[in-house]
Amino acid sequence: MTPELGQLALILALLLALAQSVLPLIGAWRGNNALMAVARPAAAGQAVFVGLAFFILVWAFLHFDFSVQYVADNSNLQLPWYYRIAAVWGAHEGSMLLWVLILNVWTVALALFSKSLPDVFVSRVLAVLGIISVGFLCFILFTSNPFGRLLPMPPDGADLNPILQDPGMTFHPPVLYMGYVGFSVAFAFSIAALLGGSMEQSWVRWARPWTNAAWGFLSCGIVAGSWWAYSELGWGGWWFWDPVENASFMPWLVGVALIHAQAVTEKRGSLRAWTILLSLFAFSLSLLGTFLVRSGILTSVHAFASDPRRGTYILCFLALVVGGSLLLYALRAPKVAGGKAFALISRESAILVGNLMFTVAAAMVLLGTLFPLLGDALDIGKVSVGPPYFGLLFPLLMLPVMLLLPFGPFLRWGKSDTSVLSQVLTRAGIAAAACAVIAAFFVHGQLKSIAGVACAAWVAVGIVLYMAKRWREMPRGRRYPAEMAGMLLAHFGVALFVIGVLLSESLSVTRDVRLSPGQTATVGGYEFRFDGVTQTTGPNWVAEQGVVTVMRNGSLVADMHPQKRTYSHEQVQTTSAVDPGITRDLYVALGEPMDPNHVEGAWALRLYTKPFIRWIWGGGLFMMLGGFVSAADRRFRVKRETEAAQTILTPVRESQA
Amino acid sequence: MSRLVPFFAFVLLAALLGFGIWWNSAHDPTAVPSPLINKPAPAFVLPKLDDPRQMVSKDSMLGKPYLVNVFASWCFACGEEHPVLMAQSKQLGIPVIGYDYKDEAADAKAWLGQHGNPYDVVITDQSGHTAIDFGVYGAPETFLIDGKGVIRYKRIGPLTPDVIAQQLMPAIATLENAP
């Protein structure tokens, strides 16, 4: 009976979402306060019912209700409780439910924290979020019902894909969706602004903390996914330019551009139409990502079940939402190039260059991702572009960004003088050159590493110089407001990321070896001794566990235990052993026994040393932190409607931040 | 008018995605046709595993059809395929060349010693350079090459009794019936 209640809850949520999307729009159009007032209660009610449906699905997993098809397909009696919760979003139906749940979390947060904004505006924003919710609830109810029954009820279920049985699975999808779906808020703000047609720019200020927070979540989700792939898949890589990874990376790239464009529009009034367009793009790419992952249109390692009916549905929804919003943009976007003029050397120009690079990078990733499809469409056979394409073009596009980054904060809005810039150029340039020389001593002519160190030093020293300038020139308490602190953190993350990527890419050593118990292999100065294989068991798997002792210069560095697990349904999954460190990771993956009948004999092992790889994720986490910190700036918390009204009348004061 | 550009770009994109859905429902998206089928096999000169001084080349094999089976001692799926080859390679009626791919000679010899050698001759490609010409992207893969040096059939993944009976044997039969 309970699963049917879940379905009923979804139907009620759909009805409330319809009310939330239609009535406030009419209210805002006709100036009817009663209809506009429907938005908040309808959003709250919808969230309650979506939450209830989600809870019922969790409950069904926790209580082994195998009469629910989705539960029977993705869990069994041996699966530990935490993976049974993660299994809720382990396959298509549940992950769509998670999508809608998170959309509701954002909607309710917006309904709560928008009391000071004009009612007309908030009703429109909530209505747009309601429309998106309607689309996804219909999708779930008509094509992907997670509450479908399976009769007769089987005694036990199938298994959750072993790759997904990892702590990363409990964490990565919800956080990633928080980011993906969070861009819906910036999207809704833009649509509301287009519908309102007002020329004012205060909505951008209201939208900024939401965009920054969503982007922070997206950064965190991507980092979590990358780390998970690294530790679980046994390839030792951290990014594969896989279509599904790209699907999350494209909104992230556009998100970077959007965050900066919003800053320009808020403070200077320029780039209005561009900011609107970017917020449409960011969320459109989130939807497109959902489409790519869910329609199975591109084959990928994430290999979700494909169903043409679902693909067709999402495509129609995509066409309505994205096509509709772009059409609205064409009709209503601000016609006059508003805002203050800016000179060639100004902060606006620098941000514009960065924006251009990030947008082109997103387009480049989109083209690469869809290339196999283009190949089919133009009938030039199966073609796909892989890491060589992305690995060449992406750094090329990011190079100008890196070069400009230290100057950014020093540049003034409108027009900047060049004297301070040449000072930065000299100091950061000397620091970068010095670091490059020092690095050259250690890495023996690895150009990539030297470039990485120099580039990171260039960026980091630029940040430190700016921090010092603020320290000298500003009174206490006003030196680093949250918005600026966030910017500094995120930019510092860029430096960490660059050094991590280039050092680990160029200095990593991989060896595939065949070792009998007692034999050693040396990789990157570390001696890996293989001490044979033992049997071990987990809650729902048995494993052969290699014992590998790592020594360096005669002293013990780590005991490592790579596993080859066999899950309850004969699915085999390797679990690599990683010994993490700030300057290097040691990584061991267990391959196959040379003779399947003699597991006590020699085994194939893959050994890696990966210098500085952790800095990649460290950089990502700094960027995430930057997003969150700047979202928390008090300046964004508009208190009264009067104040909001004032910002409409008098353009925002010129701010140095 | 320029404000309509994003909209039209999206229309093109949506059309492409729609095409993708249609295409996927009409085709098997996992089937990767080899562009080399019915094309001359790439020229190769590779040493024999048991005697690296002796070379086997495409020219030396001209005249009658043969099978090239890409394998490696490190390759898990090759272990699954191996018993099938052991049982059936002699019944194919054509020479079977083992193509040892990116492998240490000692490992390959040990592997063949342990599991048996179904091949008439084994050649080695330690660097994997020639394999690139063949478009090999993993082991095992199998190529059927006719007497004129033209690739007639290709299998990606292990040969199974079903694949041999339903695909490979008919392909060999058409070669033998051809003039």
Question: Is there a contact between A596 and B24 if contact means CB atoms under 8 Å apart?
Answer: no
Is the model more confident about B27 or about A452?
A452
Beta bridge pairs of residue A566:
A542, A572
Selected residue of B2, B7, B39 to mutate for chain A interface (largest A Cβ count, 10 A): B7
- Check: CB of residue A262 under 8 Å from CB of residue A656: no
Helix (H/G/I), strand (E/B), else coil: A603: strand
Residue A213 zone, left/alpha/beta (φ > 0; ψ -120 to 50; rest): alpha
pLDDT reading at A618 higher than 70: yes
Q: What integer best gives the mean pLDDT of chain A?
A: 88
Looking at the complex, report in whole angstroms how far the Cα of residue B127 sits from the nearest Cα belonging to chain A.
Answer: 15
Question: Is there a contact between A592 and B110 if contact means CB atoms under 8 Å apart?
Answer: no
Taking alpha carbons only, the member of A540, A539, A518, A543 closest to residue A528 is: A518
Looking at the complex, report in whole angstroms how far the Cα of residue A387 sits from the nearest Cα belonging to chain B.
Answer: 15
Question: Is there a contact between A330 and B6 if contact means CB atoms under 8 Å apart?
Answer: yes
The CA-based angle A558-A561-A564, given to 5 degrees, is 155
Alpha-carbon distance values, A617 to A358, A441, A488, A589, A629 (Å): 20, 26, 17, 21, 18
Chain B residues whose C-beta is within 8 A of a chain A C-beta are: 3-4, 6-7, 10-11, 13-14, 16-21, 23-25, 29-30, 32-33, 35, 74, 76, 79, 107, 110-111, 114
pLDDT digits (tens, 9 = 90+) for A372-424: 888 877 777 666 777 888 989 999 999 999 999 999 899 999 888 888 889 88
Of B7, B25, B33, the CB nearest to A382: B33
Helix (H/G/I), strand (E/B), else coil: A84: helix
Taking alpha carbons only, the member of A68, A337, A592 closest to residue B107 is: A592
Question: Which ipTM did the prediction report?
Answer: 0.81
Question: Is there a contact between B32 and A382 if contact means CB atoms under 8 Å apart?
Answer: yes
A359 contact residues in B (CB cutoff 8 A):
none
Cα-trace Rg, chain A: 27
Looking at the complex, report in whole angstroms how far the Cα of residue A23 sits from the nearest Cα belonging to chain B.
Answer: 27
Alpha-carbon distance values, A473 to A139, A477, A488 (Å): 56, 12, 17
Question: Is there a contact between B16 and A373 if contact means CB atoms under 8 Å apart?
Answer: yes
Q: What letters, b where the CB count within 10 A reaches 16 and e where it falls short, cover A209-236?
A: bbbbbbbbbbbbbbbbbbbbbbbbbbbb
Taking alpha carbons only, the member of B46, B70, B74 closest to residue B130 is: B46
Percentage of chain A surpassing pLDDT 70? 93
Q: Report the pLDDT value the prediction gives residue A198, as an integer from 0 to 100.
A: 66
Confidence band for A201, pLDDT divided at 50, 70 and 90: low
pLDDT digits (tens, 9 = 90+) for A189-200: 999 999 887 656
How does DSSP classify residue A595?
S
- Check: CB of residue B82 under 8 Å from CB of residue B54: no
At A78, give phi and psi (nearest 5°): -85, -15
pLDDT digits (tens, 9 = 90+) for A69-128: 999 988 888 888 999 999 999 888 899 999 999 999 999 999 999 888 888 999 999 999
pLDDT reading at A641 higher than 50: no
pLDDT digits (tens, 9 = 90+) for A26-71: 999 998 999 999 999 999 999 999 999 999 999 999 999 999 999 9
Taking alpha carbons only, the member of A555, A504, A564, A557 closest to residue A535 is: A564
Tokens of residue A45, six digits: 């009610």
Looking at the complex, report in whole angstroms how far the Cα of residue B177 sits from the nearest Cα belonging to chain A.
Answer: 30
Of A273, A296, A297, the CB nearest to B17: A297
Helices A119-143 and A167-196: crossing angle in degrees, nearest 10, is: 130
Q: Report the pLDDT value the prediction gives residue A231, as an integer from 0 to 100.
A: 83
A329 contact residues in B (CB cutoff 8 A):
3, 6-7
Selected residue of A322, A366, A380 to mutate for chain B interface (largest B Cβ count, 10 A): A322
CA atoms of A22 and A482, how far apart (whole Å): 38
CA atoms of A329 and A275, how far apart (whole Å): 11
Q: How many CB pairs under 8 A join A and B?
A: 81
Question: Is there a contact between A318 and B17 if contact means CB atoms under 8 Å apart?
Answer: yes
Q: Report the pLDDT value the prediction gives residue A654, as an integer from 0 to 100.
A: 40
B51-80: average pLDDT: 86
- Check: CB of residue A253 under 8 Å from CB of residue A259: no
B110 contact residues in A (CB cutoff 8 A):
594
Alpha-carbon distance values, A365 to A109, A387, A390, B23 (Å): 32, 11, 7, 22
